[in-house]
Amino acid sequence: MRKYLFVTIGIVALVAVYAFASVRLPFPTAENPGPPIYAQISNIAPFGEEIYHTEEWAAIPFYRDPICVPGDFNLLDMFDAPRAFDCTLTVRGFEIWPVPPPQGAGPTQGKYWGLGAVPIYFLSWPELKGAVADGVLTITELMDMSSLIIGSAGFFSVDLHPSGLANVPHIEISARGFLQDGRQFQFQVAGGDQSALVKHIKIVFW
């Protein structure tokens, strides 16, 4: 009986240590400049392509000012530390890290909200699909695409449980706003993963 008691106490202690180690890191702060990414788009092994699109349109939300994105950076690589930290954030939020940085591998959850005007680039999916076929996508390529329509989301929210880090991957994106030509748009994503298990994508203009 004493043996089982010690085992139980040990398990409880491990759970307590794990819970204590998890931290909620808001951003932006002096200590946390936010995720080192420019936009929600990637193609990183082994997770595969993360591009949110319908048969007609694709949408790329920018978490930092697109004007600041280095011309030589491949947006499909997603992470660009420390250079991305120098670019102005378009979102605020927090991340949950089981083990705080720099030791931790990454957050298991993130929640982001727009700061008032989140840039979202809409492109013809056939045109964007052709552009990313070589595994490289730069901001210059995006700006040169004939189908590019730039939107500004007055409402923007993301609930992310990242693939490869969260026990149950999940992503939800919800955005509404105006296009540069005065039309309105709605952009929604809902699914169990950032790539293969996305179940619902909605992109509409009116």
pLDDT in tens, 29-38: 988 999 999 9
Q: What is the pLDDT of residue 4?
A: 43
Q: Give every CB contact of residue 195 below 8 A, 6+ residues apart in sequence.
A: 47, 48, 49, 50, 163
- For residue 18, pLDDT over 50 is answered with no
Please compute the mean of the pLDDT values over residues 5-28 and round it to a whole number.
57
- For residue 47, pLDDT over 90 is answered with no
**Which tens digit of pLDDT belongs to each residue from 153-180?**
999 999 998 877 778 888 999 999 999 9
Q: Which two tokens stand for residue 194?
A: 């950032």
Print burial letters for 78-106: b (CB count within 10 Å at least 16), e (below 16).
bebeeebeebebbbebbbbbbeeeeebeb
- For residue 203, pLDDT over 60 is answered with yes
Between residues 195 and 113, which one has the greater pLDDT?
113
**Which tens digit of pLDDT belongs to each residue from 93-151?**
999 999 888 788 888 899 999 999 999 999 999 999 999 999 999 999 999 999 999 99
The pTM for the full model equals 0.86
How far from 178 is each of 36, 116, 128, CA to CA, in Å? Answer: 27, 12, 21
Whole-number average pLDDT of the chain: 87
Is residue 171 within 8 Å of residue 198, measured between CB atoms? yes
